[in-house]
Amino acid sequence: MRMQTVLVGLILGSWVAAGARAAVASEELYRETWRPQFHFTAQKNWLNDPNGLVFYKGEYHLFFQHNPKGIKWGNMTWGHAVSTDLVHWTQLANAIVPDNLGTIFSGSAVVDFGNTAGFQKGDEKALVCIYTSAGKPFTQSIAYSTDRGRTFAKYEKNPVLGHIVGSNRDPKVVWHAPTKQWIMALFKDKNDFGFFSSPDLKVWTHLHDITATGCGECPDFFEMPVDGDRQRTRWVWTAANGQYLVGTFDGKKFTAQGGPHRVDWGGNFYAVQTFSDIPESDGRRIQITWMRGGKYPDMPFNQQMSFPCVLTLNKDPAEGIRMCRMPVREIETLYAKEHKWEGAALKPGENPLAGLSGDLFDICAELELGDAAEVGLKVRGEAVAYNVKDRKLSCLGKSAALDPAPGNRLALRVLVDRTSLEVFGNDGRVSMTSCFLPKPEERSLEIYAAGGAARIVSLKVYELRPAWPAAK
């Protein structure tokens, strides 16, 4: 959670033509012109960092930084929403509100399966939220629920970790089974982060610190298999901007093996967090980020979350172990109509998608680059372009290096919502998470090749239904 007041996206109305205002003002909740239709937004008012991502008894819990009193940043409170499928969300009552220790900044949540904190009263396991009390000074506190996250009580002896330095904040806590203890990663100051351990979530011992250049705030920490092999794992540490370290952890010290590395090159990717306690039978590591800086003129809400993505670790022959991101499979619950092409030539000036238009899509394309100088998609007037010579993927003013896949191929996946484009290149080796604000009437789609011909190996365009229950 950023200490200073966030000012992005607050000059409402400056991005819409005067003639469009009347159409925006009178629309129903969840059907507004600039309301994302399958990305989470608060029903109204300000939203930023995802907090306390945790799974328990069939429900994904998404807590989030929220101002219940206004459209701008302030009065930081933990908002709360739940979902059974990561797509359809129901916003609940605010979970944790400011108190005499300060406003409620970012943190994490866990299921205390072993009742280490002693909060469990009945059959339900305690959900424990670990958060920053943003008073003077900043400290770390906990709150717990014994009714599946519907109500929360704050621990009477808060804070559980006193002030260390600066505006230390954003505790991420995980259970380390081999040593039977809780581990906390905590932002300290500048590029410095600390690791702490606890047997009960109440008493914490400092383990060690790390410095990660170019990284700040909102750490995450988790173990993942390499190439899907659960017998060969690494620990991953991420910062707010999504940059990550891959290494080993023995219960006392995290040892990074190079980095930080970057996984997302988009313009609106911040405060990344992953879900805790996903069942082993599922095994996915699922990440959500705040799409910081989006514009939503004349809307009752401000800011949105990214679509949930699965993280994987893969061994690259040249670069070593690297992270990939791809949308969760549950996006398929929104598929309304499929359009597909296979084995078709793609020549300059041709557009197989000329007959399609809309504002909600999942586009999956695999192209043989042929002798084209550039290939790509144009979505609602914005290009997702791959420069073959430079080996760069570009979108909305940002670009990322991306080598062709074997067979001189390029795989593109693009999620299109009303105010965002999320682009995934070569099965998530590169992702680009970005907000945009197209003209409402601009709904065109295009796939193209320039400077030579390419070939469509496979192209699938799925029209999507809105996720909101209020939307038809």
Residues whose CB is less than 8 angstroms from the CB of residue 119 and which lie 6 or more positions away in sequence, other chains included: 112, 126, 128, 144, 146
Judge whether 428 and 312 are in contact, CB under 8 Å.
Answer: yes
Cα-only R_g, the chain: 22
| Tokens read off for 443 | 């709904």
Q: Map residue 222 onto helix, strand or coil.
A: strand
Question: Alpha-carbon distance 215 to 378, whole Å?
Answer: 33
Least Cα distance to 93 among 74, 106, 110, 80 occurs for 80
Is 49 considered catalytic here? yes
Question: Alpha-carbon distance 465 to 388, whole Å?
Answer: 34
Q: Is 119 left (phi over 0), alpha (psi -120 to 50) or beta?
A: alpha
Residue 139: strand pairing partners: 133
Beta strand extents in 254-331 (DSSP E only): 254-256, 270-274, 285-290, 301-302, 309-316, 320-327
Question: Alpha-carbon distance 403 to 48, whole Å?
Answer: 33
Place of tokens 């540490």: 237
Judge whether 40 and 48 are in contact, CB under 8 Å.
Answer: no
454-464 and 335-346 strand pairing: antiparallel
Question: Alpha-carbon distance 86 to 19, whole Å?
Answer: 36
Question: Alpha-carbon distance 448 to 462, whole Å?
Answer: 18
Least Cα distance to 238 among 270, 289, 210, 272 occurs for 272
Q: Map residue 21 onto helix, strand or coil.
A: helix
Least Cα distance to 276 among 293, 259, 288 occurs for 288
Judge whether 25 and 298 are in contact, CB under 8 Å.
Answer: yes
301-302 and 45-56 strand pairing: parallel
Question: Alpha-carbon distance 159 to 372, whole Å?
Answer: 60
Is the torsion defined by CA of 371, 374, 379, 380 positive or negative? Answer: negative
Catalytic residue positions? 49
